[in-house]
Structure 1
Amino acid sequence: MGLISEVLMLPFAPVRGSAWAIRQVVREAERIYYDPATVRAELASLEERLEAGEITEEEFDHQEDELLDRLETAMRSGDTTGNGT
């Protein structure tokens, strides 16, 4: 961008900065959401809740399917670290 366009866009700087910050937060949230280590930990927790009688078999199956879909998406994307952070 040239100097003139920078000056003309100056009033929009807070909006552009906010949009950038929101994109960064969304990107990090998605990285954590699809992290294979996170999904595996949630699967283990889900199984523990089933064994403790906190959820029914039907609830377990439904939530397990959602978690396995997330894990499959994460494995397909291939850009996750798998370290759980």
Structure 2
Amino acid sequence: MGLIGEVLMLPFAPVRGSLWAMKQVVNEAERQFYDPAAVRAELGALEERLEAGEIDEAEFDRMEDELLDRLEVAMTRGTGTGDNGTTR
């Protein structure tokens, strides 16, 4: 975009800045949601809830499937905090 285009788009700069900020927030939320270490921690906490009798086996299975799906997506996306999934 040339100089004239930049000048014409100047009134929309706050909107473009807001969109950029929203994209950054979404990217960070997705990174945290699909962090393999966080998903594994949630799996551990879920197992503790089952052992404590807070949830039944059916609820455990449903929630475990959701977490395992997230972990699978995390491994294919390669997101996270440096945990590349080589240790299980």
Which residue does the alignment assign to 2:29?
Answer: 29
Shift of 1:5: 0.7
- 1:62 aligns to 2:52 (yes or no): no
Whole-Å Cα distance in 1 between the matches of residues 70 and 79 of structure 2?
14
Q: Is the 8 Å Cα contact of residues 37 and 83 (structure 2) preserved in structure 1? A: yes
- 1 or 2 for the larger relative contact order (CA 8 Å, sep ≥6)? 1
Range that drifts further, 58-67 or 70-79: 70-79
* TM superposition score normalised by structure 2: 0.88
d(CA) in 2 for partners of 1:62, 1:50: 12
Q: Give me the identity figure in percent.
A: 75
What RMSD, in angstroms, separates the aligned Cα atoms of the two structures? 1.3
Map 1:1-85 onto structure 2 (within 5 A).
Answer: 1-80=1-80, 81-82=82-83
Return the TM-score normalized by structure 1: 0.91
Distance 2:74 2:37 in 1: 10
State how far apart, in whole Å, the 1-side matches of 2:55 and 2:79 are.
33
